[in-house]
Amino acid sequence: MRSRIMWSESQHQAFIQLCEMGEVFFGVDWLESAIKPRLDPLIVGPTGVGKSHLVRSVAEMLKVPLLRLSYGEWMVTGSRSTQTTIARIYEFVVSNPKGIIHIDEVDKARVAFTTEWSIYAYAEMFFLLDRNINQPARNESWTPELNAKLRYNFWIIGSGTWQVLWDAIGKPSIGFGETPGEDTKVSDVIKELIRKKEIIPKELLKRFCNELILIPPATQTDYELAADIFGIEKLAKELGVSLDYQDAVQSQGGARWLEETYASLLMQAYRMSRADLLQLRKDPEVPDDGFVEEVPWEPFTE
């Protein structure tokens, strides 16, 4: 399936690890166990590495429904929103026998609160992570049975950027003093930074499993392979364009660099009247006989 393409090695390894954890969560009968296994993962990666894409792909692979929540867009109970976040969760749990709840932008949660909203949002997120939601609401009844269903049948995945961690790599001047050597993996340095500096609050970390899912920035090899997989390199060669993969690494644009590069090449093909290099869309209006006539592409001219 196209949406499951993992274009970087770190993303691919994270996909395998998450799929294995999901298969254990949904497949093993641990309801009668004296303790609940800690299987809720926390994904940590810079902007552009595809954290949301990764979780969607895992849900597709495991064939379970997915509810994506964003901490930055959390609607607290009692707000004027037509549907609060807790109401969305309630509807998702009631309507499905099992599923994945993805909480994105967890890094926006702060221990030091400045607004009433942040206090309530932080508390509600922790109620969800503890699988013990009991806020009174007009149309929701979080019974012990429903909380048990949430506890045993719904896998929670958190994700966040914590950009300061990635900016700290190779920048000892800002106070971190951590630079990965030739034999040191970036992920090992990040884990050490998290342990030493407590950039991720302890009360948040302890609600996820100890083994973080780290997705470091893409390497030059990752960009080269991705450009080949998606046909970007082939299109560039047809247009006589040389792609700067070192610039891709330095920009840390991730998938955004691939998308922007592809868009730029398509525009160049358009301006050069290279219709043979464009995937032309068909007329969306299908006649009754089911036949769609392909309209020859012509460049716009004034």
If asked whether residues 152 and 225 sit together in one domain, one would say no
For every one of its 302 residues, what pLDDT tens digit does the chain have, with 9 covering 90 and above? 344 678 889 999 999 999 999 999 999 888 777 788 889 999 999 888 889 999 999 999 999 999 999 988 899 887 776 788 999 999 999 999 999 999 999 998 875 566 788 888 888 999 999 998 986 666 778 898 999 999 999 999 999 988 888 877 755 444 444 444 444 577 778 878 887 777 888 888 899 998 899 998 899 999 999 999 999 999 999 999 999 999 999 888 888 999 999 999 999 999 999 988 887 666 555 444 444 344 444 443 33
Residue 206 belongs to domain with CATH number: 3.40.50.300
Asked if residue 31 is part of any domain, the answer here is yes
Three-class SS of residue 109? coil
Q: How far apart are CA 196 and CA 272, in angstroms?
A: 55
pTM equals 0.82
Report helix angle 9-27 to 220-229, nearest 10: 80
Residues 6+ apart with CB under 8 A from 285: none
Q: Kindly state whether residue 42 falls inside one of the protein's structural domains.
A: yes
Please tell me the predicted confidence (pLDDT) of residue 286. Answer: 47
pLDDT for residue 278: 86
* Same domain assignment for residues 25 and 95: yes
pLDDT given at position 175: 45
Assign 155 to helix, strand or coil: strand
- Hey, what amino acid is at 298? E
Tell me whether residue 280 is in a domain.
no
- 24 is a domain residue: yes
Render 61-81 in DSSP notation, one character per residue: HHT--EEEEEGGG---TTSSS
- Asked if residue 209 lies in contact with residue 129, where contact means CB atoms within 8 angstroms, the answer is no
Which of 171, 190, 214 represents a domain boundary (last residue)? 214
Distance from C-alpha of 50 to C-alpha of 70, rounded to nearest angstrom: 15
Query: Both 91 and 227 in a single domain?
Result: no
User: What pLDDT, on the 0 to 100 scale, is given for residue 180?
Assistant: 47
Task: Give the pLDDT of residue 275.
Answer: 87
- Give the per-residue pLDDT at 170: 54
DSSP helix/strand/coil, 138: coil
Consecutive H or E run containing 154: strand 154-160
d(CA 163, CA 146): 36
Q: Are residues 207 and 267 in the same domain?
A: no
DSSP 296: P
Query: Own/partner pairs for 233-242, CB < 8 Å, 24+ apart?
Result: 235/262, 235/265, 235/266, 235/269, 235/277, 236/261, 236/265, 238/269, 238/274, 238/277, 239/265, 239/268, 239/269, 239/272, 239/274, 239/277, 241/265, 241/268
Q: What is the pLDDT of residue 32?
A: 77
**C-alpha closest to that of 215 among 3, 12, 2:** 12
Q: How many domains does the chain have?
A: 2
* Residue 188 included in any domain: no
143, 257: one domain: no
Query: In terms of domains, do 115 and 264 share one?
Result: no
Residue 232 burial by Cβ neighbours in a 10 Å radius (0-12, 13-18, 19+): buried
Please tell me the predicted confidence (pLDDT) of residue 300.
Answer: 39
Same domain, 208 and 135: yes
Q: Are residues 141 and 225 in the same domain?
A: no
Give the pLDDT of residue 181. 45
Q: What pLDDT was estimated at residue 203?
A: 87
As a whole number of angstroms, the distance between CA 223 and CA 89 comes to 37
Cβ-contact 251, 47 below 8 angstroms: no
Contact 204, 232 (CB under 8 A): no
Q: What domain range includes position 139?
A: 2-162+200-214
C-alpha dihedral sign at 36, 37, 42, 43: negative
